[in-house]
Amino acid sequence: MNDQTQHTSLPGLYQRVLEVNEDTTHDHIRHMQDAVEAAVARVAEVRTVWTQALIEWINANGDLVVGDIRYYVGTSKTTKCIDKGQTLFNILDAAAGDLDSVARCLSANAWKPGECRGILKGELWDENFTVEPVMDLKTGKPKKQVNRVDSKFLTRKKM
């Protein structure tokens, strides 16, 4: 590995990060911060390109199964509260006034849809929340994503 590659490769960058200590100069720390930020951006770009390639591969070949993990293509969705005030009333009523249950439903965006679904059942949940596909701005179609299911836990994680 040449000297330039050692400084720009992830293993080289990792080694340089490990060498940082309290005696490292301010200029070197600034340089390292820039290098780490650039590496993170490159990795994010690789992940974006990889996800698109994986979506195309799964569409052509079917789900990818690796041990207990199954990867499949799904549509990105977002859940939105329809009426925050009415939702508060319905959660208080469905939780029989239990404020701890109400507090567990709160989030920075007013309500945690998953927690609320546990309290507001069926039609009552549907009256307060809507689930919509996230649209791809370029195509105008629902945005696709690769979902990951670990059969050991039966939960879904987005890549």
Alpha helices in 9-159 (DSSP H): 10-18, 26-61, 84-94, 99-105, 113-119, 122-128
| pLDDT tier at 136, thresholds 50, 70, 90 | confident
Residue 78, pLDDT above cutoff 90 = no
- What are 51's two structure tokens? 């996800």
Which has the higher per-residue pLDDT, 7 or 118? 118
- The whole-number pLDDT of residue 66 equals 93
Number of Cα atoms under 13 Å in the Cβ half of residue 122: 1
Residue 63's closest CA among 53, 76, 72?
Answer: 72
Mean pLDDT value across residues 84-89: 90
- The whole-number pLDDT of residue 32 equals 94
- The whole-number pLDDT of residue 29 equals 94
Residue 157, pLDDT above cutoff 60 = no
Residue 159, pLDDT above cutoff 70 = no
Which has the higher per-residue pLDDT, 107 or 26? 26
Listed range (15-24, 49-58, 121-130) with the worst mean pLDDT: 121-130
Residue 56, pLDDT above cutoff 60 = yes
Please give the mean pLDDT across all residues of the chain.
87
Burial class (CB in 10 A: 0-12, 13-18, 19+), 25: exposed
Distance, in Å, from the CA atom of 130 to the CA atom of 113, rounded to the nearest integer, reads: 10
| pLDDT tier at 70, thresholds 50, 70, 90 | very high
Q: What is the pTM of this model?
A: 0.55
